[in-house]
Amino acid sequence: MSETILHCNERLAITVEPREMRMSHWLYAPRVVDRQSGRVLLDLSDSLWDLLSTADETATGIDLLLRKYPRDRPAVTLSVSLEDGQLRIAGRLVDASMLESALG
């Protein structure tokens, strides 16, 4: 059953659909939508990227801490901006269509 949590003054909806990868190993791949515009800013729902946590939330953006299953690599922080819909990794602008390759 999917779970949606609202962030950034309820403007940003982060939805995860829990998937069991192995016995007691769960994956929470995120889909992020700007509720004001209806624009999908990020959709990793069919990927092996797991949303570990959120941080540095403001009215105009949020950081997502992601790790690729099976978690044998370090976590990556992805910044989502509501002002312009841009995604950044370590301050570097990333095109949404190239996100999975940029994440590693």
The set of residues, in sequence order, having a beta carbon less than 8 Å from that of 72 and lying 6+ positions away, is none
pLDDT, residue 46, reads: 92
Give strand pairing partners of 67.
Answer: 50
Q: State the average pLDDT over residues 3-22.
A: 95
Q: What is the band of 104 on the pLDDT scale with cuts at 50, 70, 90?
A: confident
- Please state the domain count of the chain: 1
| Domain range enclosing 80 | 3-103
Q: Is the pTM of this model over 0.95?
A: no
Q: Is the pLDDT of residue 43 over 80?
A: yes
